Structure 1
Amino acid sequence: MSEPKSDPRPATAPVRALDAVMSSRSGNPLRRALWLDELDRTLRGHLPPTLAGQCRLANVDGEHLVFLVQSPLWHARLRLAENTLIDAARSIGLKVTRVTIKTASAPLRPQTPAPHNGPAAVSPTTRNGLRDALAALDDVLNPTSSKDR
């Protein structure tokens, strides 16, 4: 009986899905999104905390930074910090010459749902309606139990 042939290729661990996507050309949009997110955190780190929480880097288009803000008030405040953003971008190697600020029509960050701490308070009317519905359902499913009453 012959011995099994050994595989000349070394055993490798399976490739994680994220690594597979990132290694192919189809990962370019994902790489750009991750780069923009990291750049956003870096640039907002140079802003006052109250302003940093109300804006977000939306895009970098050549020499042009595009930021989104929550409201016109924050638009004006970020406009005052425009030179700070340009200097911060240049300090990390970007050749930025201008900043465009747009007011967002939707929240900049997804809202996190509040933790669920059990059932919400139920009104007496709702409670009575549920009790009556359960009683009617019980009558339909167990017709003999309604005769016992």
Structure 2
Amino acid sequence: MSISDPKSSKPKPARANRNAGPQAPMEALLADVAFDPLRRALWLDALDQRLRPSLPPALAPHARVANVDGGRLVYVVDAPVWRAKLRLVAQDLLDAARSLGLDATELVVKTTTLPFQPPERPKPKVTPMSAAAKQALQSALASLVDPKDTGSKDS
């Protein structure tokens, strides 16, 4: 199965057959020419997922497919050390891309200064409610209930 670049295909009309019945929301969204960038982003993400097994396990979380431009397969990494490690497996990665139907002849590696995943925020400390606070809350809630409303609601 080959992956074809959505950028290389002809633009599609907003909706070829308006009498074909309802479309799924995502199909309707992607059918519009205005959403070509979204379609391309989804394609690049799918390509990234297909090429990820070709990367060494330590490198995979630090490298992402950024673009395919003609014969250039562009990756972005989150530190210079990963750039060097990615260049070491460049031929394997290009072979994997060609096996998916891409005409990849060159690997370009860009480095970002931001990590791919934001740092985890510390979880707020939850302190249990004291017995006195729990009792006060229950009393307050009980005082809100009208004793006349405890019967049936026939009216």
* Paired residue secondary structure (2:54): coil
CA distance in 2, matches of 1:114, 1:31: 35
- C-alpha deviation, 1:55, in angstroms: 0.6
* Paired residue secondary structure (2:76): strand
Aligned to 1:90: 98
- The runs of 5 or more residues in structure 2 that have no matched partner are 1-18, 128-155
Alignment of 1:15-30 (within 5 A): 15-30=23-38
| Greater relative contact order, per chain length (Cα 8 Å cut-off, separation 6+) | 2
The structure number with the bigger radius of gyration is 1
Letter in 2 for 1:30: L
CA distance in 1, matches of 2:35, 2:123: 34
* Paired residue secondary structure (1:118): coil
* Paired residue secondary structure (1:21): helix
For residues 30 and 113 of structure 1, do their structure 2 counterparts lie closer, same or farther at Cα, with a shift above 3 Å needed?
farther
Tell whether the 8 Å contact from 1:68 to 1:108 is kept in structure 2 after alignment.
no
For residues 73 and 62 of structure 1, do their structure 2 counterparts lie closer, same or farther at Cα, with a shift above 3 Å needed?
same
Aligned to 1:106: 114
Letter in 2 for 1:54: H
- C-alpha deviation, 1:19, in angstroms: 2.6
- The runs of 5 or more residues in structure 1 that have no matched partner are 1-9, 120-149
Q: Aligned residues, how many?
A: 108
- C-alpha deviation, 1:33, in angstroms: 0.4
Cα RMSD, aligned residues only: 2.2
Which TM-score applies when normalising by structure 1? 0.64
- C-alpha deviation, 1:31, in angstroms: 0.9
Letter in 2 for 1:56: R
- The answer to whether residue 39 in structure 2 is matched with residue 31 in structure 1 is yes
Which TM-score applies when normalising by structure 2? 0.62
2:49 to 22, 29, 41: 41
1:71 to 73, 76, 79: 79
Displacement over 6 Å in runs of 4+: none
For residues 114 and 92 of structure 1, do their structure 2 counterparts lie closer, same or farther at Cα, with a shift above 3 Å needed?
farther
Aligned to 1:128: none
- C-alpha deviation, 1:57, in angstroms: 0.6
Aligned to 1:138: none
More helix by share: 1
Letter in 2 for 1:104: T
Percent identical: 44
- The answer to whether residue 68 in structure 2 is matched with residue 60 in structure 1 is yes
